[in-house]
Structure 1
Amino acid sequence: MDGPQSSDESKVLIIYTGGTIGMLVSKAGYVPEPCFLTETLRSQARFHDPLQDTIFSHSGSVEGFRKWNVNGGSGRSSPSGSSGDSSLGARSPQHVSLPVRSSRPIAVPSARTVKNSQSPPPDQAPTELLDGAYQAHLLSLVTPRLTMSNGKRVRYAVLEWNPLLDSSDLEIEDWIRIATEIELNYQLYDAFVILHGTDTMAYTASALSFLLEDLGKTVIVTGAQIPLSQLRNDAVDNLLGALCIAGHYIIPECCLFFDHTLYRGNRVSKFSSHDLNAFSSPNFAPLVKVGIDIIVNWNDVFRQRSLRRFRIMKHVLTTTLATLRLFPGITAATVKSFLQPPIKGVVLETFGAGNAPQRTDLMNALREACDRGVVIVAISQCAKGAVSPTYATGQSLLAVGVIPGGDMTPECALAKLSYLLSKPELSLAKVRALVGTPLRGELTRSAPPPRRSSDDPAFDGVGGVLSRMIRLAIPDVSANGVPNVTVTSAPGAATPEDEDATASWSLTAKEASITEGALICFLIHLAVAADDVEGLEYCLVAEDKDDNCSERKYRVIAGGVVNWINPASGRPPLHVAALNGSTRCVHTLLKAGALVHLRDSLGHTALYYAARQGHEEIVSTLVSAGANLGGADSGAASLAVQRLMWMGDTAGLRIWKTAGMTVPDQW
C-alpha cells in the first residue's frame, strides 16, 4: 500500500544487512538465519501492534488499562486512538504493505510463521524497474502509539539482504549498496535504520556519512552484542530506540545508536567486544541521550546548508589505502616499503598530539611519498585528543607534507580519504585541503573569533530582540521603525522618560541568554511572515562575517530555532515562509539548516503550502533543495490538482507538476 500516509505516522525503512542482532545459536556458534528477524518483530507487540489491541497501546493511563482489561485484554473494537489507520483505506491495518526498492533482487519470505487471527496475505513478488532496480511491496509493521512527540506510531518495512552478512565480511562495495538503497527509497520513507554487525559498524557509519551527500533525513546504524533470539539481550533496546528516534526526530546525519545513546556516526569507534556500551565518542558529545526523557542536543546536530537535492557518491571507492601505526624503533625501510605504489593514501597513527620519530631517513621516506602524490593524514593513537603542532616533533611531519587530521577516528580518516580520492573532479591539492576540513562534522573546527559588538547597542542582547519583535509585531511603532526600549540592571531603575516605553528588566547573564533564546523563537516566525531578511538574520547570525571568511556564522541555537514549531500555529518557520510567499527568507532559512522534509502538526510539508498558494519560485527552490511531497500531502494535493483541472488553471497545474504531482500531458 503506497497511498496516503496517516499524519500521525512516520515511515521508516529498515535495511537489514546481517550481524549479531538477527542470529541464532548453532553448533558452530551464532549464525544469521533468513526471515528470523522480521518474523520475530512481527510477533512482538512492542514492535508490531496494528490493531492497537495489546497492553502497550492501553497502558498510557489507568482508565485505559482498566477498560482494556475488563474486555478480556482485547481491543478488537478498534480503540479510539486508532483513527490514524482509517486513512489507509479499506485494507486491514495489519495488512498494509509498503513499496521497497533495491539495487538487487529482493528476497520475499514465502511462508509466514506468525499466528494471527487472520493470516496475512503474502508479500508481493519483486519486479524489475526500468532503471535496473527492483521493487516489491512488503507487509509493513507498526509500533504502538508512543507518548512522545504527539503520540506518533512508526510504520516500517524490513528490506533483508540475501545473503545476510557478518560485518567482518562487509566490503567497500557494500557501503555503496547501502547508500544506493537509501537513494532508491529516499522519497518513499521519512527515515532509515541500518541493522549491522558491530565489528565494522563504525567504518560503515563513517563511510555513509560521506557517501550520503546533502542528506536531509535521519539515517541510523545500529545492531546488538546479544542477538534478539536470546532472552536477555540488548537488541530490543537498540532497535526500538533507533526506530523511535528515526520516526520522531529529523536529525539529518548518518548516526550510530547503541546503549541508549545516539552518536554522530563518523565520531565513534568500537572500544569493547564484551560490554553492552561497546562504542565511544571521546571527542564529540552524543547527539541524543535516551533515559527517562529523550534529550536531543540540537546545538550539535549537523545541518546541511546547501540548496542541492540529496544524492549519493556512486563512484567506486578507492581501495588502495592503508593505515600505518608508528611504534618505537620502526625502520625507514618498513615505512618506505609500506608507501610504495599502488598506495594512494595512508592514515598515519602518530604518537600523542601528532609526534613521530625524528630520524632523517624516516622523514625522507615520508617526504618522498608525499612528493610522489601519496596523501598521508596524521591522526593520534590516543582515543581522546587531536593532532596539533604543539611540539617540534609534530612540526617536522607538516614540513614533509603530512596533513594533520585533527581529532578524526581511524575509521573516519580512512573512509574520508577513500571518499575524497574517489572523486575524479578533485585535484590532489584539493584533496589535501579537504582532508583537514570538516565536511560532515567529522573533526572539530578551530574555535571562532569572539563576537564583535554591534555598532547600534539598541540591537544587542535582550534589548535588541525586544526591539525587533515589537517593530515586526506593531508596524510603524516609531518614526524610524525602532521603538525606544531600555534594558536596565536593577528593578525600578528606569527613568521617567522611558517608563511609558517598557518595564525595567533585572536579569543575570544566564537569565538574559535564556530569555533571548525564548523570544528569538517567536521573533523568527514574525520575521519570516514579513519576509524581513534583516530580522531573520538577526535571529540566526551570531556575528558579522570575518574578513577572512565568506560564510555567515550562525548562532549555536540556530539548528533548533530554525526548525522550531510554533505551538500556536503548529508550523515551523519554513512553512510560514512558504505560506506567505517570503521568497528571500526561504533561501536564508535553507542556508541556516531548515529541514525541507519537516512536517507541521497537520502532516504537511512546506512544499505543499508553497504549491497550494501558487508561489512558483519557492516551489522550485524547495524542490532544488531536495523537498518532496509526503505525509498528508498526497491526498490534499490530488484534490487540488483535480480542482485546477476543472477550472482549467494551467499555471496552477504547472506549479503542482514542479512540486512532483502527476499531471495529464494535455495540461
Structure 2
Amino acid sequence: MKKHICLLATGGTIACEKGADGLRPVLTGAELLRAVPELARCGEIDVSELCSLDSSNLLPMHWQRMAQAIAERCGQYDGFVLTHGTDTMGYTAGALYYMLRGIGVPVALTGSMLPLTAAGTDARANLRGAFAVAASGRAGVYQAFAGRVISGNAVKKVDSTARDAFRSIGRPQAGTFALADGALTWQVPEEARTEAGKMDDETQAAFAPQFALDERVAVVKLVPGAEPRLLTALADAGYRAVIIEGYGAGGVPTAASPKNFLPAIVDLRARGVRVICATQCTTGGVHLDTYEMGVLAARCGAESAGDLPLEALVPRVMLALAQADGAQTV
C-alpha cells in the first residue's frame, strides 16, 4: 500500500556543494528527491524546507522547530524523513526521541558522509533506507544510516570520516537495511520493543509532544588534574545541571586526591543544581554502585546517566529541567 511521507530538509553534508571556503549545504529537499527517483515508489512525498545549515550550527531551538513541524503534521502523514548533518545528528535524534514520545508514526533521520553530488556518495543508499523506515509503520524515532537502523536515544557518531560512522549505544540495534534497495529488516521484534518501552519512564501510550527546553546544561569532561572549582564556576554562571564525563564506570576524584570533587558536588546539590555522572567510555554505561568514587558521588547527590550516550542525555536533561514538575531523575 502506498504511503504518504513528509521529507523535512535541514541541510548537512548530504546537501553540500563545494564553495569558496569548503563544503556548505545548498541543495534543497526537492533536489535530493529528484536525485533518487525510485523513492517515489514509497508513495506520495511532500517536502518541507526547515533550514539549510551545517549541523554544527544547529541549536536546541532547531530541535524545537523540527519537533513542532513533525507534531503539527503528524495526522497528515504515514511517516517522516529528516535529512540532517552527521556531526550533531545524535543530539537531534535524542532530542526528537524524547520530545516526540508516544508518536504513532515512524520518524527517520538520515544524512551522508559524502555530498549527494560527490562520486561514490552514500546519500542515495541512506535516503532509500530512511524512506523504507518511514514507510514501515514502525512508530518511533530512528536513524537510518549505512545499513543500520538505530533507536533515536542510542545514536552516536564514532568515526569522523568512515561511511559506517554511527553505532547504537546502550540499546540493541533496531534493524538493518540493504544499501542497494533499502529493503528493511527489524532486529528487535515489535513485542520486545513494546515491553522494553514499558521500562522507560519517558514512554507513554498517548502522543504528548514536549517542546520546552532549558538549555542551562553543561558538560565537564574530567582529565587528570581537573579542578573541582569548574563545577562551582558553572553553578555561579547559572547552569541548572552539570553532566560530568567521568572515568570508567562514572566515578570522580574523592578525598584520596587533592582534586576532590565531592565537596563541589555537595555544594551544587545544595544550590539546586543537578549533577549527573556520565562516562567517557563509549559502551558499558555508568555504575555508581561499584567503586568507592561512584558510591560516594551518589551519596553526595550525583545521579547516574545509566547507559545513555551523551547525545541522548543532554536533550533529555534539558527537557526534564523544563518540566513543570521539576523531574529529578535522569
TM-score, normalised to structure 1's length? 0.45
Is the 2:114–2:122 contact (alpha carbons within 8 Å) kept by the matching residues of 1? yes
Q: CA deviation at 1:190?
A: 0.5
Equivalent position to 1:279, from 166, 178, 198: 166
Is the 1:379–1:405 contact (alpha carbons within 8 Å) kept by the matching residues of 2? yes
Q: Any unmatched runs of 5+ in structure 2?
A: none
Is the 2:16–2:27 contact (alpha carbons within 8 Å) kept by the matching residues of 1? no
Is the 2:154–2:170 contact (alpha carbons within 8 Å) kept by the matching residues of 1? yes
Tell me, in whole angstroms, the C-alpha distance in 2 between the residues paired with 1:362 and 1:206: 29
SS at match of 1:185: helix
Residue of structure 2 equivalent to 1:301: 193
Residue of structure 2 equivalent to 1:383: 282
- Gap change, CA 1:306 and 1:391, over 3 Å in 2: closer
- Alignment of 1:20 onto 2:13: yes
Residue of structure 1 equivalent to 2:118: 230
Equivalent position to 2:249, from 353, 372, 389: 353
Tell me, in whole angstroms, the C-alpha distance in 2 between the residues paired with 1:390 and 1:177: 41
Alignment of 1:211-610 (within 5 A): 211-247=99-135, 249-291=136-178, 294-296=184-186, 297-299=188-190, 300-302=192-194, 303=197, 306-308=204-206, 310-315=207-212, 317-359=213-255, 361-388=260-287, 389-424=289-324, 426-427=325-326, 431-432=327-328, 434-435=329-330
Q: CA deviation at 1:341?
A: 4.0
Is the 1:349–1:380 contact (alpha carbons within 8 Å) kept by the matching residues of 2? yes
Is the 1:154–1:244 contact (alpha carbons within 8 Å) kept by the matching residues of 2? no
Q: Deviations over 1:430-477 (max 9, x none)?
A: x22x31xxxxxxxxxxxxxxxxxxxxxxxxxxxxxxxxxxxxxxxxxx
Q: Which moved more, 1:249-258 or 1:389-398?
A: 249-258
Tell me, in whole angstroms, the C-alpha distance in 1 between the residues paired with 2:298 and 2:35: 58
Q: CA deviation at 1:44?
A: 4.3
Is the 2:11–2:83 contact (alpha carbons within 8 Å) kept by the matching residues of 1? yes
Letter of the aligned partner of 2:114 in structure 1? I
Is the 1:154–1:243 contact (alpha carbons within 8 Å) kept by the matching residues of 2? no
Residue of structure 2 equivalent to 1:521: none
Residue of structure 1 equivalent to 2:37: 45
- Gap change, CA 1:371 and 1:244, over 3 Å in 2: same
SS at match of 2:75: coil
State the percentage of identical aligned residues: 28
Tell me, in whole angstroms, the C-alpha distance in 2 between the residues paired with 1:307 and 1:259: 31
Q: Any unmatched runs of 5+ in structure 1?
A: 1-7, 48-141, 144-152, 436-667
Is the 2:126–2:145 contact (alpha carbons within 8 Å) kept by the matching residues of 1? yes
Residue of structure 2 equivalent to 1:209: 97
Larger RCO, structure (CA 8 Å, separation 6 or more):
2
- Gap change, CA 1:329 and 1:21, over 3 Å in 2: same
Tell me, in whole angstroms, the C-alpha distance in 1 between the residues paired with 2:32 and 2:106: 25
Letter of the aligned partner of 1:298 in structure 2? P
* Count of matched residue positions in the alignment of Structure 1 and Structure 2: 315
Tell me, in whole angstroms, the C-alpha distance in 2 between the residues paired with 1:43 and 1:321: 40
Letter of the aligned partner of 2:81 in structure 1? V
Residue of structure 2 equivalent to 1:156: 45
CA RMSD across the alignment = 1.9
- Gap change, CA 1:190 and 1:362, over 3 Å in 2: same
Q: CA deviation at 1:282?
A: 3.5
Residue of structure 2 equivalent to 1:124: none
Is the 1:251–1:301 contact (alpha carbons within 8 Å) kept by the matching residues of 2? no
Is the 1:183–1:311 contact (alpha carbons within 8 Å) kept by the matching residues of 2? no
Alignment of 1:6-17 (within 5 A): 8-17=1-10
Larger radius of gyration: 1
Q: CA deviation at 1:336?
A: 2.3
